[in-house]
Every structure is written in structure tokens, then in C-alpha cells.
Structure 1
Amino acid sequence: MATGMATDKAGRLAGARPSTKACGDAAEALALQYLQAHGLRLIRRNLRSPGRGGGEVDLIMADADGTLVFVEVRQRSRADHGGAAASIGLRKQRRIVFAARHFLARLPQVPPCRFDAVVVDGELGAAQPPRIQWLRGAFDASGWD
């Protein structure tokens, strides 16, 4: 690295774009805050199912009516290729459902469930705040046995 260039604590060049993980973590925190403000209660964050090909659920929330809500959070700084919502394809949905089923298998009784998405379109930390959209029932688990 050239001498005299300023770096942050992680050793990145000052002013460099944050990592994908940092953006994802920030979007998850924003989504969690948004959902809690709309009456949902956090059950668990970042549930990973075991094994190869397993999935991850970003947020597991409880709705006021007792519904267990599995939430996928997606963030895109640009709307190319349909924005954040378009990035939740069938393969991703299948992995989320797999992780959700792993979680549900441990419960003594399975409550009503729903698969939501919170999409964050826009640059996090920019002058113009990102657009947050909560998609209730974004997809379902039927047919994936």
C-alpha cells in the first residue's frame, strides 16, 4: 500500500466503500428497528441450518397475532436488475424455508408461520435515506417438501 494513505481501523483505505457484510449488517439492523416499530418482537437473529446447502434466516419475529415470521432482509444500493426485492430468487427462498423447518422442528407446537421480506433500496448512510419496503407474505413454503 502506498505510504501516507489514511486507513480505518480495519486497514481499509479511508473513504472506501463498506464491505458487503457491513452493509448487510446495517440493513438488518435497520429492518429490525422498522419491524419492531410496527409491533413485531424479535425471537432470533441469523439462524443458520446445519449441513451443506443449508440456509439462513436473517430475522425470526413474532407478530402480535402469534404468527411466527421468518424475515429475509435484502439491501441494494442501486436498482439495477430489479433492486433488492428481485434478488430473492427461488433458490434463496428454498434455503430460507429449509432453515425455517429446522427451527420449527424443535418447537413442541408449530404456530402459524409467514415468510416476509424487508427490502432496503438505496445507499445506507447517504444524504437521501434508503427506501424500506416490508413485503408481508413475500413467498410461501408450499410445495417444497
Structure 2
Amino acid sequence: MEGRKAIGTYFEGVAARYLATHGVQICERNVYNRGGEIDLIGRDKDTLVFFEVRYRGSGSLVDPASSISYPKRQRLLKAASFYLHRHHLWDTVSRIDVVAISPGTVKKYRVQWIKNAIQADV
């Protein structure tokens, strides 16, 4: 498990650097609460964004973005809701994005930023 944690931390760093170059201000990393874990929290202009970082190696049968199961999406929604409630941010514009990272062909990594990837069922 320690190896998975180290890999996760490394790719969260890759995602944070990528997002910073695209104007996102990272506020927090690895936020744990009753709802679950949020990999990164940042500000994209006036929007509070919760980021789920996914990495899949070259041998993976599924791309990183598709690897988010329904239960994982529900946990992310719960964690984001709990964070907003705990910090009294209900009136803040927010969304949940996915940063999908896989080995690249031209560059070291292929990074795909999917905005508003996970939405609450209304």
C-alpha cells in the first residue's frame, strides 16, 4: 500500500504543477473528511474546484478518467459537500474536475483536465 501512496502523491504533484501552469491556485492537498478524500482543492478564477487525480500506466486496460466507479463518484460528491458545509461555503460556486494522467508519446505524460466531470444527480 505504501507504494500506491507514493505513486498517488507523485502524480498529485504532476497534476498540481499542470494546473498551476493553467492558472489554477492550489489551496489544499489530500483533504480527508467524513465524506472521503479530496486529492486537490484549488481556485480556477472565481470557482472553488475539487480535483480527483487519476493515473493509469501503459499496461492498463482502461483510461484514467473511465476508472472512476459510481461508488467513487458518490464518495467525491459527499466529500465535496461535507467540505463546503464545514467551511460555510454553500454559496460558493464550485465543481468537481478530474485530472487524468497517462504515459505520453511525445511528452513524458499525457494530462487531460476534464472540467465539471462529476455532477450531482438532481
TM-score range, shorter chain: 0.7 to 0.9
CA displacement at 1:108 relative to structure 2: 3.2
What letter corresponds to residue 131 of structure 1 in structure 2?
Answer: R
- Runs (5+) with no aligned partner, structure 1: 1-17
Cα distance per residue 1:38-77 (max 9 Å; x no partner): 1111121111122xxx42110011111x111010000111
List structure 1 segments (4+ residues) > 6 angstroms apart after TM superposition.
Answer: none
2:94 and 2:33 map into 1 onto residues whose CA distance is: 17
* Alignment partner of 2:24 out of 40, 43, 47: 40
Who is 1:103 aligned against?
83
Task: Give the number of equivalent residue pairs.
Answer: 119
CA displacement at 1:128 relative to structure 2: 5.6
2:29 and 2:64 map into 1 onto residues whose CA distance is: 20
Q: Please state if 1:118 is matched with 2:99.
A: yes
Percent pairwise identity: 36
CA displacement at 1:139 relative to structure 2: 1.4
What letter corresponds to residue 101 of structure 1 in structure 2?
Answer: S
What letter corresponds to residue 63 of structure 1 in structure 2?
Answer: D
1:36 and 1:24 map into 2 onto residues whose CA distance is: 18
Q: What TM-score, normalized by structure 1, do the two folds share?
A: 0.74
What letter corresponds to residue 31 of structure 2 in structure 1?
Answer: L
Who is 2:36 aligned against?
55
What letter corresponds to residue 27 of structure 1 in structure 2?
Answer: F
Whose helix proportion is higher, 1 or 2? Answer: 2
Q: Is contact 1:79-1:121 (8 Å) kept? A: no
1:135 and 1:87 map into 2 onto residues whose CA distance is: 14
1:121 and 1:93 map into 2 onto residues whose CA distance is: 20
- Runs (5+) with no aligned partner, structure 2: none
1:23 and 1:78 map into 2 onto residues whose CA distance is: 15
CA displacement at 1:137 relative to structure 2: 1.0
CA displacement at 1:141 relative to structure 2: 1.8
* 1:1-145 to 2 correspondences below 5 Å: 19-50=3-34, 54-64=35-45, 66-78=46-58, 80-110=60-90, 111-122=92-103, 129-143=108-122
SS of the aligned residue for 1:114 comes to strand
2:120 and 2:59 map into 1 onto residues whose CA distance is: 27
